[in-house]
Structure 1
Amino acid sequence: MKRIRRETSDAAPPAHVPAREAAPSAPPVASAQPGASTRPAPSTQPVADPAGSDREVQVARLFDLHYPSMLRLATLLGADDPENIVAEAYYEIYRKYRKLRTPEAAAAYLRSVVCNLTRMRIRHLQVVRRHVEDRIDTVASAETSALLRDDQRALIRALRALPARQREALVLRHWLCLKEKEIAATMGISVGSVKTHTARGLAALTHAMEVRR
């Protein structure tokens, strides 16, 4: 009798009785533990470019250090709009600053750009004025005039009458006090050519000032 009851209890349930479905388990909840770090969601804000920030700082520093001397350089080389020349030179160095290795290279490149832009400007003015017989005296801005003294005007006129290369060599040598190698790099010529242009320009300038006296 006991044997019959045991076999009956071990038998499978009737087919019409549905098996109990397992209840869906809830997703595990991570419990916050003391000292555990929580990672923030990834930010969608643009990340600042440290290289670009450094470029702006360095170019601003170049502006503070060299703007007056670059303005004088463009003026002495004969630019009729030295402020625009220098502004364009700083924009050019801002674009190419990452290609420059040192701040010294940036300053040298800035001088070179000012010289090239002034040379191009003078050539453009010569083409525009080639049919004009009388020389048109340009009116300098108040900022440019403040940089020049009355006793320098005659010298500036004589300097502007020199050929472009002689004028550039003299300005870079005697106003910016550059070495011959630096002048050669700025003008894109050899050291020997720098010596030749400097000597000829100085002789012509001396003669012009002596005749005036």
Structure 2
Amino acid sequence: MTTSTVTTTSWAKDDEPSGPTLADLYALHRLSLTRLATALLGDQGNAEDAVQDAFVRLWHSHRGRTDMLDNPLSYLRTAVVNNARSIMRRHKTAREHPPFFLPPAESAEEEALPRVHREVLEAVKQLPERQREVLVLRYWADMSEADIAATTGISRGTVKSTSSRGLRSVARTLRERGQL
């Protein structure tokens, strides 16, 4: 690990901070603190939250005055480790005590689409790749047969036959499921 020097700002008034500012500490140490938290948590998002919380806590507890601390980096490291521990405890508790009263919920996509549309999408997902591509480009992207041929690199006749086979397959799947 390389050592960085912190530039200090000299202030005109005696009551202003004389050491590194919170912005200086953030610029110099945010990445190394995030790496530390990621190593502890194994998750980038939670690691970034732990680091941000440490800086926010420093700001609130010392009004951003880093000169009030003997070693601000040590304070931040300790805060990041403590935040990571808290996150791990919350996750462990959540795993050990899953809520028993929550009904199974559908995803936002499933809730937004009517059931018939979801059935069609499921049938399309089961198609071979080329048929799926052609149908999606034709009916969702509203592309012409010529545009589909140019986009996929197949002939216009192949687009027609692939589209026809794909539509028959989707209709057959929906009939089997009682949707048609």
Give me the TM-score of the superposition, normalised by structure 2: 0.37
> Which structure would you say has the larger Rg?
1
Higher helix share: 2
